Amino acid sequence: MDCTKVKETLFLFFDNEMDQTDQSQFEKHLSDCPQCARRMRYTRQLLILVRRSCGRQAAPTALRLRIVTRLRLGRGAQTLH
């Protein structure tokens, strides 16, 4: 994995959405690349601050229903109006 790929997949890592192979390569790159390791620490701290500062609010019921309906209809990639 290279620095560009790490930047592209950083949030997948934080969200635990990487498969085991990608995660291993990601972690290996971080152990070898001080710049990416620094970026990861910075991003982790930023996410912690955002989570502390922002209350968890649920999306409005109407929005959630529209999203679920569109996903069920197979139109999830379209813009929600």
pLDDT of residue 24: 95
pLDDT of residue 60: 87
Averaged pLDDT score across all residues of the chain: 87
Give the separation between CA 70 and CA 43, rounded to whole angstroms: 32
CB-neighbour burial class of residue 25 (10 A; exposed 0-12, middle 13-18, buried 19+): middle
Residue 75 has pLDDT above 60, yes or no: no
What's the total number of domains in the chain?
1
pLDDT of residue 76: 46
pLDDT of residue 17: 92
User: Is residue 23 a contact partner of residue 1, using CB atoms and an 8 Å limit?
Assistant: no
Residue 80 within any structural domain of the chain: no
Residue 11 within any structural domain of the chain: yes
* Cα dihedral 53/54/55/60 (nearest 10): 170
Domain extent for 30: 3-72
The candidate with the shortest Cα–Cα distance to 11, out of 55, 43, 48, 38, is 43
Residue 42 within any structural domain of the chain: yes
Structure confidence by residue, pLDDT tens digits, 15-52 = 899 999 999 999 999 999 999 999 999 999 998 888 88
